[in-house]
Amino acid sequence: MDPAETRQRLLALRRALNSTQVAATSTLVAGRISCLPAYRQAAVVGTYHSIRGEIDLSALENQTGPQLAFPLTTPGEPLRFMIPSGPLADGPFGTKEPATGQEVDPLDLDLVLMPLVAADLQGNRIGHGAGFYDRTFANRQAGKPPFLWGVAHSFQVVDTFTPQPWDVPLDLIITDTGLAGPGMNHLESPIGKD
């Protein structure tokens, strides 16, 4: 599958979702995340403010758990992460980001919850095409923190596509229908959907 065609097709599907659909899926995904031991045991987790039909993880902000660090975006640069000390402010591309807070080195995060446009069952990820997450985590050592978790609607997970040489793979994909990671395909529950 061509990554550019996959990006266009799945962005159109995601933009077509209404707010009720996004909210229902987001509730399921945030619930799955908050139950995972690696999340509950983490000290600092990178997250994001959702835009344009992405999974909304704002429910995690209201729970007891790890500190949440949000990305600071500068076009052409790797992401920086900050634990906010006040409300989020308008950022580029329609995002929200901390105006003040404690900056955290991205490689010191325990795990990172990453939005995506598409992912495949091998853990390859397609984002919006600007390469922010790939640049930021290009030097991450496999099998060591920060662990990279893709967060998506189930329709955003495809069987396979050809990754680019610079793409940084995900360790886990979390959707409304389950979990998947390289070597596993658990997106459809054998017992039934919750």
As a residue count, the chain comes to 194
Low-confidence residues in the chain, pLDDT < 70: 1, 183-194
Check whether the bond before 98 is cis (ω within 30° of 0). no
* Encoded tokens for 139: 């030097």
Q: By the 8 A CB rule, do 43 and 102 touch? A: no
pTM attached to this predicted model: 0.90
**Separation of alpha carbons 153 and 107, rounded Å:** 26
pLDDT at 143: 81
- Greatest Cα-to-Cα distance within the chain, rounded to the nearest angstrom: 46
pLDDT at 184: 52
**Separation of alpha carbons 109 and 70, rounded Å:** 11
Q: What are phi and psi of 29, to 5 degrees?
A: -65, -45
**Separation of alpha carbons 183 and 130, rounded Å:** 27
pLDDT at 163: 84
Angstrom distances, CA of residue 51 to CA of 22, 66, 84, 164: 11, 23, 19, 24
**Separation of alpha carbons 83 and 45, rounded Å:** 9
* Encoded tokens for 114: 């990453």
* Encoded tokens for 39: 């999340």
Give me the residues paired with residue 69 across strands: 46
| Structural domains in the chain, sorted by start | 3-180 (3.40.50.10420)
